[in-house]
Amino acid sequence: MAIFSKTCEYAIRAVFYIAQKSASGMKSGIKDIAAEIDSPELYLAKILQDLSRKGLITSTKGPNGGFFLTSEMLELPLIEVVKAVDGDALFTGCGLGLKQCSELHPCPLHNEFKAIRNDITLMLSNVSIGGFNQELAEGLVSLKKSKTD
Amino acid sequence: MAIFSKTCEYAIRAVFYIAQKSASGMKSGIKDIAAEIDSPELYLAKILQDLSRKGLITSTKGPNGGFFLTSEMLELPLIEVVKAVDGDALFTGCGLGLKQCSELHPCPLHNEFKAIRNDITLMLSNVSIGGFNQELAEGLVSLKKSKTD
DNA sequence: ATAATAAAAGATATTTTTATCTTTTATAAG
DNA sequence: CTTATAAAAGATAAAAATATCTTTTATTAT
């Protein structure tokens, strides 16, 4: 198991890609995005529709249309995307799957997980959606799954 | 998404339960374990068979049979169970699902994830399978999913 | 207005994960 | 050596996640 669902991995990579384009005022078409982040186009379309409905990205239809981010959206912490897609089990749930795990009624790993969850929450709250635009533009980091870059 | 698969959650809870019983020389039947950790009995049976094949737990058939852990098994770090069930994507994989994410060809969150992965790896390496036997015996921690405890 | 473009929406399909059912094998006790 | 017990193994089923196909709606440019 990875830390995020595949759906969420696609969502984050796509949002990073759209962010970088948006920073230079460009809209991105689904075909382009899917190719650039190496994801199934029609599945990604569904994911982006969902993010759009939830207000994390926006889009316009028709010629010259596409997905883009407003400057406010570029400032949002990445955790918003993760929460929108994977929910907040990663941030609030019990690591062993207990429904009523709490300080008073803890699972054996309660404190251990509290620390981990805190690290993850902090990390994803401290990076913004647009925070990697420059590194992406400079080609210092990659969003493509496979080697053909 | 949770951090572990449900299969892995069941596995860890079951192993903790068997560990505590093993510490006092007792074997545990699948029916008993499933009831005590609140998991689907026949599914759990499959999981334990797998752990048994992989040498993380052991069992004997027939009357007075059941699952148990040797003293060596009780000392194993919990990460062995997680690796056996969920693989090591959580410990080595790229957070964004890139196949060739590395120092030289990193994803945008490469360093951020390195820290998180390290925390998780350390935590699961530093707790042993038998490490909670006393707290479990004293009822200070719980393995049951639902409130009826 | 019309045609072309691109996302939205709805329906369906595939794959993986989770769960169950049935039969077989090993062990212990009478 | 027969019966009862309990795990192992194999087959199947249900649910959730991932992926694709088709139709509709909105926008732009001609």
ipTM: 0.93
What does the domain layout of chain A look like in residue ranges? 6-137
Question: Which helix (H) or strand (E) element contains residue B49?
Answer: helix B41-53
Which positions in strand D are less than 7 Å from the protein's CB atoms? 4-11, 17-22, 25-29
Contact between the CB of A145 and strand C at under 7 Å: no
Closest by Cα among B111, B119, B74, B42 to A126: B111
Cα–Cα separations (whole angstroms), residue A125 to A8, A32, A83, A119, B41: 16, 28, 11, 10, 39
Give residue A147's pLDDT band: very low, low, confident or very high (50, 70, 90). low
Say if CB B146 and CB A99 are below 8 A apart: yes
Structure-block tokens of residue A97:
């799957």
pTM: 0.95
Nearest nucleotide to B40 (CA to C1') is C19
Residue A104: what residue type? L
Q: Hey, what amino acid is at A133?
A: N
How confident is residue A146, by pLDDT bands cut at 50, 70 and 90? confident
| pLDDT tens sequence across A18-54 | 999 999 999 999 999 999 999 999 999 999 999 999 9
* Distance, CA of A42 to C1' of D21, in Å: 9
Interface test with A, best of B3, B15, B81 (most A CBs within 10 A): B3
- pLDDT digit string (tens) for chain B, length 149 residues: 999 999 999 999 999 999 999 999 999 999 999 999 999 999 999 999 999 999 999 999 999 999 999 999 999 999 999 999 999 999 999 999 999 999 999 999 999 999 999 999 999 999 999 999 999 999 999 999 875 44
Partners of residue A95 in chain B, C-beta under 8 Å: 2-4, 9
Write down the pLDDT at residue B149.
Answer: 46
State how far residue A7 is from chain B, nearest Cα, in angstroms. Answer: 10
- Domain covering B6-137: architecture: Orthogonal Bundle (1.10)
pLDDT of residue A149: 46
